[in-house]
Amino acid sequence: MKFRRIALGATMALAMVTAAACGGSSSNSGGDDSFSVGIVRFAPSEVTTEAVINKYTKLAEDEGWEVTTANPDGAVDKAIGAMQDFVQKDVDLIIVSVIESTSLAAGLKSAEAAGIPVASIAGGTADGIVFDLVVSPGTEVPEAMVANMGGKGRVLALGYKPGLPCQLREDGFNEAVKGTDITVDRQEVLIPGQLESGQKFATTWLAKNPKGSEPLSIWACFDDPAMGSIVAAKQAGRDDVKIYGYDGTPPALKALKDGQLAATAAPDTAGAAQMLFDATPGLIEAGVGADAKTEEIPYPIITPETLDQYLADNPGANAS
């Protein structure tokens, strides 16, 4: 029997009686707690939320839930289309990753009309979002950068406005450099193509800012553009530029180990997946009329000095 969503104003008991009388959907024949979940990924290249989704999917499938995913490659219109497809499939819960929730109004309205609650991974709150895993802005990274630069010099900032995590991190970055003597040169990264974007922008910027001119750093709102910047620095023979990222990807951890990256910040993806998994039954029970809830994903900074301890505390991470 499918565990039915509660319509606005309906009671839990009435919903369960109705589900029993109607026989439910054939897609959920595993028992009262067997759910169907539709997940709109952001892009396969966004490793942090992909890790959360993969861990959540494993937990859900081990429990006998049905999980279906869609990949819009970061495109808002495709994400909305995927949400509407999940509405047609009558899933119990829709999860959307990274894309700012306020840009998904059409998909959220379709889900609400069908009585399907929507959760977000790092997309922020909006009308129709009942649960959001909030990404910490990770202010320790730009604060470390400012300290390492002595509060002066020039920074190439690689941002990505469509992604809420990058928006929050850039807000933290702007706050950290405010009031300093640091000049910021900003560029917008492309997705797909984030590695290439980082390399291209860094190559041009390094050519304009020669070694010894002033303290120099490159800050990227996620690790991939930072990795591209490392390639550019290697090709230019530059070891004077400190590079910073976020997400603690395996290449970033290796770059930390090799002294090529000054710092990154890594989320607890397993913990985030568990939070979302644990919340799922309650979200479905409460339905679309529930008060929105948030849980923060911590993003502690990792530096070459703290890398060994991080790896000891997170044996699944790979810096080799």
pLDDT tens-digit series, residues 109-162: 999 999 999 999 989 899 999 999 987 788 999 999 999 999 999 999 999 998
Count of all residues that appear for the chain in the document: 320
pLDDT band for position 164 (cuts 50, 70, 90): confident
For residue 130, report the phi and psi dihedrals to the nearest 5 degrees: -100, -10
pLDDT beyond 90 at 11: no
pLDDT for residue 286: 94
Where in the chain are the domains? Answer: 12-134+269-297, 140-245
pLDDT for residue 165: 85
CATH topology of domain 140-245: Rossmann fold (3.40.50)
Angle, CA 25 vertex, CA 20 and CA 31 arms, to 5°: 60
pLDDT for residue 267: 82
pLDDT for residue 318: 67
d(CA 247, CA 312): 17
Backbone dihedral region for residue 292 (phi beyond 0: left; psi -120 to 50: alpha; all else: beta): beta
The larger pLDDT score, comparing residue 71 to residue 13, is at: 71
Q: Give me the helices (H) in the chain, please.
A: 12-22, 47-62, 76-88, 105-113, 140-149, 164-177, 194-208, 223-235, 250-257, 269-286, 307-313
CB 293 within 8 A of CB 131: yes
pLDDT for residue 134: 84
Closest CA to 268 of 235, 198, 316: 316
What residues form DSSP beta bridges with 300? none
For residue 262, report the phi and psi dihedrals to the nearest 5 degrees: -80, -35
> What is the pTM for the complete model shown?
0.68
For residue 266, what are the contacts with CB-CB under 8 A and spacing of at least 6?
247, 248, 253, 299, 300, 302, 310, 314, 317
Query: Per mean pLDDT, which range of 4-8, 48-52, 195-199, 232-236 is the poorest?
Result: 4-8
Of all residues in the chain, the percent with pLDDT exceeding 70 is 88
What's the average model confidence in pLDDT over 12-29? Answer: 32
The architecture that CATH gives domain 12-134+269-297 is 3-Layer(aba) Sandwich (3.40)
pLDDT for residue 210: 96
- The tens digit of pLDDT for each residue in 59-89 reads 999 999 999 999 999 899 999 999 999 999 9
Average pLDDT, whole number, for the chain? 87
pLDDT for residue 203: 98
DSSP secondary structure of 70-131:
E--TT-HHHHHHHHHHHHHTT-SEEEEESB-GGGGHHHHHHHHHTT--EEEESS---TTEEE
Query: Per mean pLDDT, which range of 126-135, 140-149, 173-182, 277-286 is the poorest?
Result: 126-135
pLDDT for residue 1: 30
DSSP secondary structure of 259-278:
T--SBEE---HHHHHHHHHH
CB 311 within 8 A of CB 317: yes
pLDDT for residue 179: 97
pLDDT for residue 32: 55
- The tens digit of pLDDT for each residue in 231-270 reads 999 999 999 999 999 999 999 999 999 999 999 998 888 8
Domains 12-134+269-297 and 140-245 share a fold: yes
pLDDT for residue 319: 47
